[in-house]
């Protein structure tokens, strides 16, 4: 069983510049910093800003979504509106705003009826895939459940219950967003080795790592299954 998103890595040219950007505009705290990577806290999920280097690399032009309390949505809109060309969409009664960071990643802030303050977590990640049907089957074998089959539009939405994963054929989405390429992300799994065995024949690689098991999917994305005992 899969559950919580542990991290998302983005490839950036200048970690200091991007760290300053996310501090200034999303008020994210730095929890760890090296010459190669800065790690920012997004609730219980890490946003890893990673300089180009060895694989796994961070994702490029990645679209991902973060949660903010419903009571703070208007504040965030007013705070960001002067600096960015914001786009707003409504899903049911929930609003989301979209803008871009300096590396071309599309950041979504989606309101949720919950407590807390500021950016409280990550709820969605979009991957670009070459063969949508094959990618859907791969992630369903990993334990993601389909919640929206939009294959006619070139997209499918799956979920762990705590992280929604959108698989997109190469396309432009809301706010002209694109799915990320060579994305590196981590998700908590009850039994990482057992889950990884379900896709061992289709994966490009399956490797034991300190956090659990790292899987390279057929499109070159890296998903690490993190055991509960190895959570940050």
The pLDDT of 98-119, averaged and rounded, is 94
Give me the number of domains the chain comprises: 1
Report residue 92 as tokens.
């049911």
Query: Does the structure show a pLDDT above 70 at 196?
Result: yes
SS (H, E, C) the chain: CEEEEEEEEEECCCHHHHHHHHHHHHCCCEEEECCCEEEEEECCEEEEEECCCCCCCCEECCEEEEEEEHHHHHHHHHHHHCCCCCEEEEECCEEEEEEECCCCCEEEEEEECCCCCCCCEEEEEEEECCCHHHHHHHHHHHCCEEEEEEHHHCEEEEECCCCEEEEECCCCCHHHCCCEECCEEEEEECCHHHHHHCCCCCCCEEEEECCEEEEECCCCCEEEEEEHHHCC
> Which residue range forms the structural domain that includes residue 121?
2-230
CB 164 within 8 A of CB 66: no
Peptide bond connecting 56 to the previous residue in cis, omega within 30 degrees of 0: yes
The CATH number covering residue 37 comes to 3.10.180.10
Report the 10 Å Cβ neighbour count for 176. Answer: 11
For the residues 69-88, what does the mean pLDDT come to?
96
Looking at the predicted structure, is the pLDDT value of residue 229 above 70?
A: no
pLDDT at 64: 98
pLDDT at 1 over 90: no
Q: What is the mean pLDDT of residues 165-187?
A: 97
pLDDT of residue 230: 60
pLDDT mean over 144-163: 96
pLDDT at residue 86 in the model = 98
Q: Residue 12 forms beta bridges with which residues?
A: none
CA quadruple 73, 78, 79, 82: dihedral positive or negative? positive
Question: What residues pair up with 215 in beta bridges, in sequence order?
Answer: 206, 223
Report residue 184 as tokens: 């590196």
User: What is residue 231's predicted lDDT score, i.e. its pLDDT?
Assistant: 62
103/73 Cα distance (integer angstroms): 24
Mean pLDDT of 209-224: 96
């Amino acid at each position: 069983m899969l559950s919580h998103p542990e991290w998302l890595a983005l490839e950036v040219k200048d970690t200091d510049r991007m760290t300053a950007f996310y501090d200034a505009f999303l008020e994210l705290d730095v929890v760890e910093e090296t010459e190669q990577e800065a790690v920012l806290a997004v609730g219980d999920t890490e946003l890893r800003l990673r300089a180009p280097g060895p694989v796994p690399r961070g994702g490029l032009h990645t679209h991902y979504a973060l949660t903010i309390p419903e009571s703070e949505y208007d504040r965030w809109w007013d705070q960001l509106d002067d600096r960015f060309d914001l786009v707003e969409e409504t899903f049911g009664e929930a609003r989301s705003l979209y803008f871009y960071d300096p590396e071309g990643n599309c950041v979504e802030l989606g309101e949720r009826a919950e407590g807390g303050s500021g950016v409280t977590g990550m709820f969605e990640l979009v991957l670009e895939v070459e063969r949508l049907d094959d990618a859907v089957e791969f992630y369903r074998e990993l334990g993601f459940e389909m919640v929206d089959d939009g294959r006619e539009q070139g997209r499918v939405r799956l979920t762990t219950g705590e992280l929604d994963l959108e698989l997109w054929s190469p396309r432009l989405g809301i706010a002209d967003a694109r799915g990320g390429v060579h994305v590196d992300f981590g998700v908590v799994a009850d039994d990482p080795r057992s889950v990884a065995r379900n896709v061992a024949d289709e994966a490009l690689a399956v490797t034991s790592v300190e956090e659990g098991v790292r899987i390279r999917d057929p499109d070159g994305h890296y998903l690490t299954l993190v055991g509960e005992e190895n959570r940050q």
